[in-house]
Amino acid sequence: MQQEKVDVLVIGAGPSGSVASAYLHKQGLKVKVVEKSKFPRFVIGESLIPRCMDNFEAVGLLDCLKAMNFEVKGGARFMNNKGVVCNFDFSKKHGNGWDWTWQVPRADFDKALTDELQSWGVDIAFQQEVTAVDFSEDGTSVTTIKDIDGNESTVQAKFIVDSSGFGRVLPRLLDLEKPSEIPKHSSIFTHVEDVKRPEGEEGTIITFDVIDTDTWLWVIPFSNGSTSIGYVGKTEYLESFEGTNTEKLQQMMKLSSYYFDRFDGVDYTFEPRMIKNIAKSVKQLCGKGYVLTGNSAEFLDPVFSSGVTFAVESAHLASQLITKELKGEKVDWQTEYNDYMIEGVNVFSTYVKEWYTGNLQTIFFHSTENPVIKEQICAVLAGYVWDKTNPFVKKHNRLVKTVAHIADMEMEAKKDS
Ligand code: FAD
């Protein structure tokens, strides 16, 4: 059996694995990335938020992405079934940070990242699946890998970064799975050739069309002429639609009075896929000799497009700490990694939960907008969830509830007058 020795083994070549391996490679460490599929491959997670740009830039992966000419995303539009629209513009947000990012077909996006890494000499083994990991007491490990012909090999590593996304390799193998606190939602989605796409901004703007408190449709136009459409809703509600996934999605598209005509009769590029009970959580984000990054660690909900940003934020931080540790410096993983990541997850978690209680929707669709509050919420939606100068970060637990309550009272007062 073939045996290899590396400093760091990275499981998965999505954005998280790419950012981790980019950083580690640049630090002179011997890195191997093992990726189960052949790229380009489809994966969902197409609407980015600006904070991810900081991480791609920091590890030298921004230019290869810029060269792809993806659709620029300068904000996001939320609309409700009463025709009320709430536009967020990332250039009008609290604090500093990127004003824009992209809407990306992930097959092309992730391939651009791995092509760039391979051009640097990073070893990425495609179509190789991690099947088992054995840790020694000192944190070193031996990982078993199977290729598509069933041949096995092993990799000995000083450290493992698990960036396997919904593959959740180490959470499964080390029994780290934990039920998420986020309500049980599922999603059904596909791509379409957007042949009825309107001219101008209407054709390119990313939109969240809110059907009711629990159910919403995403419309994410790409620069290649196709558009991603997908519903998120309670698992039992999505399961109540009958037929094939195409039939289910076609029925659901009737729920959107705004988008029905644009996507009516348009062919789906592939049979819509359904992912059930999307939210994932773990008991711990790291342990001796390993760290979980991206979706392998935690996934909340697609409503604020935070997935890729958390994936690259965690990968960037983890790879900095691994470098420190392998160079002989002491790392306090609990405070330097776990606590930092959980702080950001908790802020987003409040916004996701308050979306589904309806409180955030009350604020978004309230008729009198407070521009300062809007800028502060916009910074959260841009992914700047570690900025304590933002009251909507610092007091996220209380402020969303309080502001929603005030908006409710104002609406009641209007009704009575
Ligand atoms: P991935 O991109 O999933 O990459 C993991 C890689 O690991 C894969 O290529 C896989 O093949 C590989 N792998 C798995 N198992 C193994 C194994 N055993 N051995 C080797 N390799 C393995 N995020 C956003 O930012 N914006 C959005 O709009 C958005 N929408 C979403 C909508 C839905 C319905 C869902 C479910 C998620 C959405 N997300 C979104 C989240 C997004 O998909 C993820 O957060 C993001 O892809 C995480 O990146 P990653 O690098 O951690 O994992």
User: Which residue carries 């300068």 as its tokens?
Assistant: 74
Whole-angstrom distance between the N-terminal and C-terminal Cα of the chain?
80
102-123 pLDDT per residue, tens: 999 999 999 999 999 999 999 9
For strands 286-287 and 290-292, give the pairing.
antiparallel
H/E run at residue 266? none
Q: pLDDT band for position 416 (50/70/90)?
A: confident
Domain ranges of the chain: 2-73+105-179+279-344, 185-275
What is the Cα–Cα distance from 233 to 189, expressed in whole angstroms?
A: 12
What is the Cα–Cα distance from 99 to 15, expressed in whole angstroms?
A: 20
The CATH fold of domain 185-275 = D-Amino Acid Oxidase; Chain A, domain 2 (3.30.9)
Ligand 1 atom showing the smallest separation from residue 294 Cα: 52
> Which pLDDT belongs to residue 182?
86
> Which pLDDT belongs to residue 290?
98
Is 50's C-beta closer than 6 angstroms to any atom of ligand 1?
Answer: no
Q: Which residue has the higher pLDDT, 397 or 384?
A: 384
Closest CA to 407 of 84, 63, 34, 102: 84
Q: Is the pLDDT of residue 60 over 80?
A: yes
> Which pLDDT belongs to residue 412?
81
290-330 pLDDT per residue, tens: 999 999 998 999 999 999 999 999 999 999 999 999 999 99
- As given in the structure block, the two tokens for residue 341 are 């990541």
Distance 161 CA to ligand 1 centre (A): 15
What is the residue-wise DSSP string for 183-203?
Answer: --EEEEEEEEE-TTPPSSHHH
Number of CB atoms found within 10 A of residue 241's CB:
17
Q: Is the pLDDT of residue 417 over 80?
A: no
405-414 pLDDT per residue, tens: 988 888 888 7
Is 17's C-beta closer than 6 angstroms to any atom of ligand 1?
Answer: yes
> Which pLDDT belongs to residue 367?
75
Q: Is the pLDDT of residue 27 over 80?
A: yes
Query: What is the CA angle 173-42-295, rounded to 5?
Result: 35
Residue nearest to atom 2 of ligand 1 (CA): 14
Mean pLDDT, the chain, rounded, equals 96
What is the residue-wise DSSP string for 64-81?
Answer: HHHTT-PEEE-EEEEEET
> Which pLDDT belongs to residue 415?
75
What is the Cα–Cα distance from 67 to 78, expressed in whole angstroms?
A: 29
Distance 294 CA to ligand 1 centre (A): 8
Distance 45 CA to ligand 1 centre (A): 7
- As given in the structure block, the two tokens for residue 15 are 């954005």
> Which pLDDT belongs to residue 150?
96
User: Which residue carries 């990127």 as its tokens?
Assistant: 98
What is the Cα–Cα distance from 133 to 331, expressed in whole angstroms?
A: 23
CB contact at 8 A, 296 and 167: yes
CATH code of the domain occupying 2-73+105-179+279-344: 3.50.50.60
What percentage of the chain carries pLDDT values higher than 90?
91
253-285 pLDDT per residue, tens: 999 999 999 999 999 999 999 999 999 999 999
Which mutation among 234, 308, 317 tests ligand 1's pocket best, with the greatest number of atoms within 8 A of CB?
Answer: 308
